[in-house]
């Protein structure tokens, strides 16, 4: 059984975006033995003062560095640790530009980047970026086809519903002529897209149990139906030190491993579904949680 890869989601929404802070977190995670760093993505945040019924979703008060810029900086600060967008909202962006940014980051980081994508939930961002919120799922499929073509060949001719490229390409190309592509989201159509186009699924909706196992089996079934090896379906989950103690964290990792999970991300700022964030929001609290979790689970990975 392969070792689980362990990630740490950068808690910049809590601790701020100062470059020295981001670098300290990245270097500490790498020194401890974490395999990758995760980062979320939002381009625009709403002014909650003008939307009193907005709820607990992200607003302009929440800091999000552009993940390509952030990971480009951290790639120069580190030597081994990987990087994963969790997740980049693909259909609110120009496709060829994302392909170019991902390829550049792949080259500059030495192949340490995974592109996690999703379709987003906030129509305000789509309007502000001049993209259609209502066709974002279907359009994302064609976006992936375009990106895969641009990563694989120096020149591409593509005529689709939303994209047209006339014998042109990006330079540089990623080292392996592809960038690992993971999906967030929990609709059945998402699992089908992963089986057709992707390398893995970032699953947030279920704790360890029957719901998660059923969806893992469904994903593997879709891989088989698509003519792909079900064992090649990567599965990533998020966890937190906001609940339980060291023995609980270790047992959870052991259970995820037995279920075939390949990646676990410690995300101590996420508080939706069954996930509970840690109570502290300072850098010291997040660094202590990072160390405590690694110490608890490292030998179980």
Is the model's pLDDT at 56 over the cut of 90? no
Using an 8 Å Cβ cutoff, are 104 and 113 in contact? Answer: no
Is the model's pLDDT at 237 over the cut of 90? yes
* CATH number of the domain bearing residue 85: 3.20.20.30
* Segment 135-161, tens digit of pLDDT: 999 999 999 999 999 999 999 999 999
Question: How large a percentage of the chain has pLDDT more than 90?
Answer: 98
What six digits make up the tokens of 73?
């900086």
How many Cβ atoms are within 10 Å of 95's Cβ, its own excluded? 23
Beta strands in 50-106 (DSSP E): 82-85, 88-89
* Segment 174-229, tens digit of pLDDT: 999 999 999 999 999 999 999 999 999 999 999 999 999 999 999 999 999 999 99
Question: How large a percentage of the chain has pLDDT more than 70?
Answer: 100
Read off φ and ψ for residue 120, nearest 5 degrees.
Answer: 85, 170
pLDDT of residue 1: 77
Mean per-residue pLDDT, 237-246: 97
DSSP-derived 3-state class of residue 4: coil
Please provide the average confidence, as pLDDT, over all residues in the chain: 97
Is the model's pLDDT at 290 over the cut of 80? yes
pTM of the model: 0.97
Element (H, E) at 122: none
What six digits make up the tokens of 142?
């064609």
Residue 46's pLDDT band (cuts 50, 70, 90): very high
Please identify which residue in the block is written with the tokens 């952030």: 70
Domain containing 197 equals 5-300
**Overall domain count for the chain:** 1
């Amino acid at each position: 059984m392969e070792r689980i890869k362990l990630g740490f989601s950068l808690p910049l929404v809590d601790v701020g975006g100062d470059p020295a802070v981001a670098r300290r977190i990245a270097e500490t995670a790498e020194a401890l033995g974490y395999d990758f760093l995760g980062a979320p993505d939002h381009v625009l945040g709403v002014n909650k003062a003008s939307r009193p019924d907005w709820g607990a979703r992200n607003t302009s008060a929440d800091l999000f560095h552009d993940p390509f810029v952030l990971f480009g900086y951290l790639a120069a600060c580190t030597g081994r640790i990987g990087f994963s967008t969790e997740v980049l909202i693909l259909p609110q962006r120009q496709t060829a530009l994302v392909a170019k940014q991902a390829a550049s980051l792949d080259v500059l980081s030495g192949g340490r980047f995974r592109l996690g994508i999703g379709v987003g939930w906030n129509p305000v961002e789509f309007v502000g970026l001049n993209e259609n919120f209502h066709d974002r799922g279907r359009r994302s499929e064609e976006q992936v086809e375009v990106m895969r073509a641009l990563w694989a060949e120096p020149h591409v001719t593509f005529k689709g519903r939303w994209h047209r490229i006339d014998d042109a390409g990006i330079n540089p190309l990623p080292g392996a002529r592809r960038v690992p592509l993971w999906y967030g989201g929990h609709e059945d159509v998402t699992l089908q897209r992963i089986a057709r186009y992707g390398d893995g699924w970032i699953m947030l909706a279920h704790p360890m149990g029957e719901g998660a196992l059923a969806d893992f089996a469904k994903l593997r079934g879709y891989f088989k139906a698509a003519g792909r090896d079900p064992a090649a379906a990567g599965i990533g989950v998020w966890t937190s030190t906001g609940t339980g103690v060291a023995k609980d964290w270790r047992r959870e990792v052991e259970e995820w491993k037995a279920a075939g999970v390949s990646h676990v991300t410690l995300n101590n700022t996420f508080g939706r579904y069954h996930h509970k964030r840690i109570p502290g929001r300072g850098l010291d609290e997040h660094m202590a949680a990072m160390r405590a979790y690694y110490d608890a689970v490292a030998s179980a990975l």
